[in-house]
Structure 1
Amino acid sequence: MNLRGWARDLGLGLRFAFAGGREGWVRALLTATGVGLGVALLLLTTAIPNALAVRQDREEARSDLHYGDTNTHVPESDRSLLIAHTDTGFRDKDVRGRELKPEGSRAPLPPGVEKFPAVGEMVVSPALKELLESDSGKLLRERLPQRIAGTIGESGLIGSAELAFYRGSDELTDPGSGNRVARIDRFGPHEADEPAERTDPVLLLLILVVFVVLLMPVAVFVAAAVRFGGERRDRRLAALRLVGSDSRMTRRIAAGEALAGAVLGLVLGAGFFLIGRQIAGSAELLHVSVFPSYLNPTPTLALLVAIAVPTAAVGVTLLALRGVVIEPLGVVRTAKPPRRRLWWRLLLPLAGLGLLYPMIGQGRDNGEFNQYMVTAGVILLLVGITALLPWIVEAVVGRLGSGGVAWQLAVRRLQLSSGTAARMVNGIAVAVAGAIALQMLFAGVEGDYTENTGQDLSRAQMTVRLRSEVPPAEADQQLKQTKGVRHTLTLSDGAVSDRRKDPVNAANLTVGDCAALREVAKLPSCRDGDLFTVQNAEYDTTTPKLGKPGRKLYIDPSYTDSRGKEVVWTMPQGIKQATMGKDPTGWAREGILATPGALPAKATPALTVGVYVGLDSSVPDAGEYVRNTATRLDPLADSTTMTATEQSPRFASIRTGLFVGAACVLLLIGASLLVSQLEQLRERKRLLSALVAFGTRRRTLSLSVLWQTAIPIALGLALASAVGLTLGAVLLKMSSVPVRVDWSSLLAMTGIGAGVVLVVTVLSLPPLLRLMRPEGLRTE
């Protein structure tokens, strides 16, 4: 058969899809809708790398050059800008803030800002403006009372829902030790940035598995969507045999019909993607947001999707028709089909395990995992579900016994078309299996990427750092009187040294009243004016040298790259020895501990004030009240919520990406199941109408439809659990992590899958009731 004949037959199939009457275009529309949903998610997935790259570029473009970089100095000039970080938080969201003071007419503007805000003004992100103008943002408005003079453009934000602001100030002083102010002459990445560290092999494994697990359900559903309306299509093809078409030509015509639905699906998919892209620009999921312009698929990947989907449609159709005999007088599918063979279905998961087995025990110390073997192995294991599920459904439903009328109708239908039932469940089963495996892998390696901070949340839940200009007693009093605060612990921190500039020996200095010092050290006795030394016997050799009576020391010395207060202090007599303890953050307080009376009066401005705050958990927004008080005390206050553990940013970002992707896949699966369910009901419209005409109760038919969905779903979830546990165990062995099963997470994954199916079934009941009418027996 030459290409011309192929083109003719495919073209004839295209004509049947759109000009074959109502049945033809309804089937084409259902197929196109299903394929379009899959294509939209595939395009979204291909756009994710570009979105992440753009977010990273935007973050780098607005980075505060030299901020916190002690090796670089920018002199004051017409091009310099004083900048201070004023990041804050509001409930569970981060708020990015900067305070600006241009020192010349050519000072650099932050990206997305048209002009510098004046003193008492600020420019904010659109999301922050909306929050501040709403009732829910009242507490944040107290912290940011400046007049909104404009909004930050897209080029200065990493997402549409980001909360950010720049405000003008005339109180920023020269950069120096402890004043949290930097001088810059441009925004952007540092030219001397260190090269990126080598990515952890286990994290690379996580990324690979996440992408495969998220894309496989999409591919499975697209393959199933091109087979919508297969039974009616085959009956129409039988009529072509009557007019002289041979079996090969008939299959090519069927492929052309599937191709029509796939091509239309590409068009609808592009439309769905554009709609979804706009919706994504106004949505936030797990604190991640993007602008629509970020979601541009890579041209190569988009072209690959455009070629792969129609090709897969033709291939799947031809493969499906191999098991169907289309004769001039009918379709030999109504007879009992031969039993499905098991042996070749087991080869797929076994081949997948065979590809993964050589990497067991490799871990992160033996180089990177082979990306191709990992991808192919996981794909084969998940594809094995789609091969095994039809056999399992057929084997189980063939042995189901008698029951009520609804049960018998459902079982008989499943016995006649177990393959159709399995295809509808394949997508959810693959998704659940992948989710179980990923959950096991994440839970298994989480401990390697989670550190104990050492912070004692039973002693305090927040820390507030204030500049040296704030009197410690005033800070303690105001925070203690703040709504939602149970208690406070106030300590001032600094450094003492043996030289005014570039000292050789230096030690920590902690200042507080006796009650505060007893919280961080074991004191022999204490009254105002006392002084203590605390030595860490393991490595501290400096404190004994500096903590001698009559020794001349300097509080807050200057260094080559920073300017200090350089307060002269002569150590008094009567220095006591104390035993080292820890503050609520877990920091071991060593060095010199002093009560306020032991220091000269001019030493106070050379110290940084730290307040540890215990919150009343029964007061809503207690943390917001603390942040507001801290901002009133010091506009550059740093208020931080304490946490018991800290997770690797890369690991956390991968997990966030998984959650975002899983949410999109679940939406697709729900929509695709609904389309598939509606297609199945449409196929059986005449049968349902006939049963109603013969007196079958609608309640009985509704229950039968529910059983027809529940039985394959139960079998699919059981198979998914088994495959998911197997894949998860293998991945953990590859990562050299002990195999542990989080049964609660496994039940949650299967419960989510069952919940999606239950929602889809409920949504399909109204169309089902409309189809169960005797009028459905009419024909044209």
Structure 2
Amino acid sequence: MRVRQWAKDLAMGVRFAFAGGREGWVRALLTAVGVGLGVALLLLTTAIPNVLNARSDRGNARTDITYSGTQIPKAANTLIVANVDTTFRDLDVRGRELEIEGPKAPLPPGLERFPAVGEMVVSPALKRLLDSDGGKLLRDRLPDRIVGTIADQGLIGSGELAFYRGGENLAAQIDGYRITRIDRYGDPEATSEGFDPVLILLILVVFVALLMPVAVFIAAAVRFGGERRDRRLAALRLVGSDSRMTRRIAAGEALAGALLGLVFGTVFFLVGRQIAGTVQVYRVSVFPSDLNPSPALALLVGAAVPAAAVLVTLFALRGVVIEPLGVVRTARPSRRRLWWRLLLPLAGLAMLYTMIGQGRDNGNFNRYLVIGGVLLLLVGVTALLPWIVEAVVARLGAGGLAWQLAVRRLQLSSGTAARMVNGVAVAVAGAIALQMLFAGVEGDYTEDSGFDVTRAQMQVSVPSGVELDGAVEKFRDTDGVREVYAYAEGYLGESRRDPERGSEFTVGDCASLRQVADLPSCRDGDVFVVRGAEQDEDTAVLAKQPGRTLYLDPTYEGALQRKEVAWPVPRDLKEAGTRKDLTGWERGGFLVTPKALTAEAATALDGQVYMSVDATVPDVQDLVRNTAASVDSLTYPMALYSTSQTDRFASIRTGLFVGAACVLALIGASLLVSQLEQLRERKKLLSSLVAFGTRRRTLSLSVLWQTAIPITLGLLLASVVGLTLGTVLLRMTDTPVRVDWTSVLSMTGVAAGVVLVVTLLSLPPLLRLMRPDGLRTE
């Protein structure tokens, strides 16, 4: 009987929402838009696991070069694949050069046929770039004729830049690293490497911090139009409904808006899914077909949002007395209590405190405690902010007319003002905590590359079949290149097969060799030996026996057999001291000037070219890459950086940026809807003030103050909570606490900027509402 009465009351509220005339429809639509935006983002979140799995599956399916160190023999079903990846400006381009060795060679995923020599199959995004005016430099580097596009199953994202082109004479250059022979695509032995505890903690906090503002916005959206709704509820009391029935009817109205919001959210999500296939956020792109929410999670969203709408409405009306002749909300409200509001963040801190000092050496962090603790701290922002706004505005007084109008309005409805900025405050608190955590542990996942970027900023690997001297001249003639250091490099072994002892072998002119060792004197024809370099114990032994024959490029077990080149140890070796080379490594072994090298030995060496470039020359790195492509299609240019970051940490940080961009868009859209709803509620009040002669500029300033005061208080509270949460998270990871004040200020500045933009966008409708004819009523 009780359930039936609840159902009848909720159904009546739903009917009032849709059959209550224009007022009911407007309120339902505003609620639906606000809820729908949040639902769309929640559906997007539920689709993330499917997106990651789809990208991973397509990436694994096209795996070709696995760096196993062993090579399979040529057969009817083999294919030679060369890695010809490149970079255009700051965009990575995946490239493969293919040479068919038999009629049954495996076709790469996404291709209908193999490209011939001089032909190229490209991704749709790369084709658009090559056809554009901005892609001319890249087109010069990839001049092959485009004969097709790569299908979706061969790409990890809609915006990926990738190409396949035909190759020839690759067999002689197989090295198992960048050029290899395969008989199938995919890596059946691929396993997923586990995340360490700190990375798991980062992922958990990212999800909670990004989704919490969404939940806050949905909770605020279902309370749109509360003041007018309460007047309708008073009329219901007048015709005989009791207070409980009235609250259930109000919950039914909110339920109607939430259900309509689910429909809107689904539409927003479907539209956004199609748009997602055409845009990139922080260089991450997806296919619309990948954005399929998990059915279980989507069902959870569909059930949780209406239930939350009912519960939030009942909770909001718990302290409101609805009588037949009015709502006792216009009287002086009772002061909000602080004690229970402090319990939420304190409970969150207590849950996290149990893991202080755990670090990554004591197992994974308790996921339930992490989620619960962070959740309670962020919910504490929404609980504390109304009390803080009420306490502060109650003490605000004298000022200009616009200031007084704003303060009086906030004193009468501080809860409404606080609800509008709750989501912003929660988002900023979570962002500050995440920024502190990322900045604190970044050093653990960032390594010193060792490259001396003061001496060289680019490196190009030149295959052994290419004349190194000719390549060097081309690089020297390239715009923006200041200095060029070139080396022909190889490895010496004491025997032709599986040598136990070996040493590095480096050929270069005197100027280049001085960059890798401390030479006493140098002229062309000299040979030097460097003893005592890092991890080099064999050179001293091999150099003790002048005339002994060593072998360049010896064959190791499992590798394809090749012709090794004999090299006798010279009798007139010169001693050279150690020095860190351009890569930060102490090079050992034998250093040889060009005249001391035989023509046969030169064929067993690979070239390395290091360049110092002028960064002020536009696109200087791409000019170098184009020169490298003109030298040989298999050259491998690389920009040198002083530090490098692990892929998993970088991926999580990219995910944070993508999610933050989506949440930021939701913040702006939801705030705008909320602002418009607040203005609609005050239409008659604004019209009355204009009719009595109040200037529009004064009213506009008062609306700005009504937004600025609570947002300032919200950002201050968010900064305190964010710094507290960030400090606790750093203590949990056993990392020294350090506050990046620049990041804190930038986070709060971005949030303030979003609020300012929303306020400016709401000024045109505000001016339309400030007309005396707004007093007209029926």
Which of the five TM-score ranges fits, normalised by the shorter chain?
A: over 0.9
* Equivalent residues of 2:529, 2:588 under 8 A apart: yes
Which residue of structure 2 aligns with residue 9 of structure 1?
9
Q: Structure 2 residue aligned with 1:624, among 622, 625, 645?
A: 622
The alpha-carbon deviation at position 515 of structure 1 amounts to: 1.2
Alignment of structure 1 residues 55-454 onto 2, 5 Å = 55-64=55-64, 67-71=66-70, 73-174=71-172, 176-177=174-175, 180-191=178-189, 193=190, 195-454=191-450
Q: Which SS does the other structure have where 1:456 is aligned?
A: coil
Segment drifting more, 703-712 vs 564-573: 564-573
Q: Which SS does the other structure have where 1:359 is aligned?
A: coil
Aligned residue type for 1:551 = R
Aligned residue type for 2:326 = G
Q: Which SS does the other structure have where 2:603 is aligned?
A: helix
Which residue of structure 1 aligns with residue 54 of structure 2?
54
Q: Deviations over 1:459-479 (max 9, x none)?
A: 011100010111121111110
Q: Tell me how far apart the structure 2 counterparts of residues 695 and 619 of structure 1 sit (CA, whole Å).
A: 62
Segment drifting more, 84-93 vs 4-13: 4-13
70 and 410 in structure 1: CA distance in 2 versus 1, 3 angstrom threshold: same
Q: Tell me how far apart the structure 1 counterparts of residues 601 and 697 of structure 2 sit (CA, whole Å).
A: 84
Segment drifting more, 528-537 vs 644-653: 528-537
Q: Deviations over 1:203-251 (max 9, x none)?
A: 1111000000000000001000000000000100110111111111111
Which residue of structure 2 aligns with residue 43 of structure 1?
43
The alpha-carbon deviation at position 175 of structure 1 amounts to: 5.7
Q: Tell me how far apart the structure 1 counterparts of residues 300 and 98 of structure 2 sit (CA, whole Å).
A: 47
Q: Tell me how far apart the structure 1 counterparts of residues 258 and 118 of structure 2 sit (CA, whole Å).
A: 58
* Equivalent residues of 2:533, 2:586 under 8 A apart: no
Aligned residue type for 2:439 = A
Q: Tell me how far apart the structure 1 counterparts of residues 326 and 177 of structure 2 sit (CA, whole Å).
A: 87
The alpha-carbon deviation at position 560 of structure 1 amounts to: 2.4
Q: Which SS does the other structure have where 1:428 is aligned?
A: helix
Segment drifting more, 767-776 vs 4-13: 4-13
Aligned residue type for 1:99 = E
Q: Which SS does the other structure have where 1:496 is aligned?
A: strand
Q: Tell me how far apart the structure 1 counterparts of residues 567 and 198 of structure 2 sit (CA, whole Å).
A: 53
What is the number of equivalent residue pairs in this alignment? 776
Alignment of structure 1 residues 491-506 onto 2, 5 Å = 491-506=487-502
The alpha-carbon deviation at position 176 of structure 1 amounts to: 3.7
Q: Tell me how far apart the structure 1 counterparts of residues 541 and 168 of structure 2 sit (CA, whole Å).
A: 43
Q: Structure 1 residue aligned with 2:552, among 550, 555, 567?
A: 555
The alpha-carbon deviation at position 517 of structure 1 amounts to: 0.7
Q: Which SS does the other structure have where 1:508 is aligned?
A: strand
* Equivalent residues of 1:50, 1:296 under 8 A apart: yes
The alpha-carbon deviation at position 8 of structure 1 amounts to: 1.1
Cα RMSD after superposing both structures: 1.2
Aligned residue type for 2:404 = Q
Q: Tell me how far apart the structure 2 counterparts of residues 20 and 715 of structure 1 sit (CA, whole Å).
A: 37
| Structure 2 stretches lacking a partner, 5+ long | none
Q: Deviations over 1:47-66 (max 9, x none)?
A: 1121111111111010005x
* Equivalent residues of 1:178, 1:608 under 8 A apart: no
Aligned residue type for 1:226 = V
Q: Tell me how far apart the structure 2 counterparts of residues 238 and 650 of structure 1 sit (CA, whole Å).
A: 58
Segment drifting more, 101-110 vs 704-713: 101-110
Q: Deviations over 1:183-216 (max 9, x none)?
A: 101100143x4x5444211111110000000000
Q: Tell me how far apart the structure 1 counterparts of residues 175 and 578 of structure 2 sit (CA, whole Å).
A: 26
Q: Which SS does the other structure have where 2:522 is aligned?
A: coil
Q: Tell me how far apart the structure 1 counterparts of residues 417 and 260 of structure 2 sit (CA, whole Å).
A: 25
Q: Which SS does the other structure have where 1:578 is aligned?
A: strand
The alpha-carbon deviation at position 357 of structure 1 amounts to: 0.5
Q: Deviations over 1:267-305 (max 9, x none)?
A: 000000011111111111111111111111111110000
Segment drifting more, 91-100 vs 6-15: 6-15
Aligned residue type for 1:51 = V
Aligned residue type for 1:222 = I
Aligned residue type for 1:305 = V
Q: Tell me how far apart the structure 2 counterparts of residues 509 and 532 of structure 1 sit (CA, whole Å).
A: 10
Structure 1 runs of 4+ with >3 Å offset: 174-180, 195-198
The alpha-carbon deviation at position 70 of structure 1 amounts to: 1.1
Q: Tell me how far apart the structure 2 counterparts of residues 565 and 400 of structure 1 sit (CA, whole Å).
A: 89
Q: Tell me how far apart the structure 1 counterparts of residues 463 and 37 of structure 2 sit (CA, whole Å).
A: 55
TM-score, normalization: structure 1? 0.98
Q: Does residue 509 of structure 2 align to residue 513 of structure 1?
A: yes
Segment drifting more, 550-559 vs 664-673: 550-559
Q: Tell me how far apart the structure 2 counterparts of residues 76 and 158 of structure 1 sit (CA, whole Å).
A: 30
Q: Tell me how far apart the structure 2 counterparts of residues 364 and 170 of structure 1 sit (CA, whole Å).
A: 49
Q: Tell me how far apart the structure 1 counterparts of residues 330 and 458 of structure 2 sit (CA, whole Å).
A: 71
* Equivalent residues of 2:386, 2:415 under 8 A apart: yes
Q: Tell me how far apart the structure 2 counterparts of residues 343 and 179 of structure 1 sit (CA, whole Å).
A: 64
Which residue of structure 2 aligns with residue 648 of structure 1?
646
* Equivalent residues of 2:78, 2:106 under 8 A apart: yes
Q: Deviations over 1:490-523 (max 9, x none)?
A: 0111011111122121111010011111111111
Q: Deviations over 1:73-132 (max 9, x none)?
A: 322222111110000000001000000011122111101111111111010000000000
Q: Tell me how far apart the structure 2 counterparts of residues 308 and 149 of structure 1 sit (CA, whole Å).
A: 51
Aligned residue type for 2:165 = R
Aligned residue type for 1:36 = G
Q: Which SS does the other structure have where 2:465 is aligned?
A: coil
Aligned residue type for 1:291 = F
Q: Tell me how far apart the structure 2 counterparts of residues 325 and 505 of structure 1 sit (CA, whole Å).
A: 90
Q: Which SS does the other structure have where 2:762 is aligned?
A: helix
Q: Tell me how far apart the structure 2 counterparts of residues 539 and 82 of structure 1 sit (CA, whole Å).
A: 34
TM-score, normalization: structure 2? 0.98
* Equivalent residues of 1:565, 1:606 under 8 A apart: no
Q: Structure 2 residue aligned with 1:742, among 736, 740, 753?
A: 740
560 and 175 in structure 1: CA distance in 2 versus 1, 3 angstrom threshold: farther
Segment drifting more, 610-619 vs 567-576: 567-576
* Equivalent residues of 2:490, 2:505 under 8 A apart: yes
Q: Tell me how far apart the structure 2 counterparts of residues 764 and 87 of structure 1 sit (CA, whole Å).
A: 49
Alignment of structure 1 residues 564-643 onto 2, 5 Å = 564-643=562-641
Q: Which SS does the other structure have where 1:606 is aligned?
A: coil
Segment drifting more, 539-548 vs 13-22: 539-548
Aligned residue type for 1:147 = R
* Equivalent residues of 2:174, 2:181 under 8 A apart: no
* Equivalent residues of 2:533, 2:587 under 8 A apart: no
Aligned residue type for 2:52 = L
Q: Deviations over 1:355-403 (max 9, x none)?
A: 0011001011111100000000000000001000000000000000111
Q: Deviations over 1:506-545 (max 9, x none)?
A: 1110100111111111111111111111112665331122
The alpha-carbon deviation at position 171 of structure 1 amounts to: 2.6
Q: Tell me how far apart the structure 1 counterparts of residues 89 and 174 of structure 2 sit (CA, whole Å).
A: 32
* Equivalent residues of 1:177, 1:564 under 8 A apart: no
Which residue of structure 1 aligns with residue 767 of structure 2?
769
Aligned residue type for 1:33 = V
Q: Structure 2 residue aligned with 1:676, among 674, 699, 703?
A: 674
* Equivalent residues of 1:352, 1:380 under 8 A apart: yes
The alpha-carbon deviation at position 751 of structure 1 amounts to: 0.4
| Structure 1 stretches lacking a partner, 5+ long | none
Q: Which SS does the other structure have where 2:354 is aligned?
A: helix
Q: Tell me how far apart the structure 1 counterparts of residues 347 and 423 of structure 2 sit (CA, whole Å).
A: 21
Q: Does residue 484 of structure 2 align to residue 488 of structure 1?
A: yes
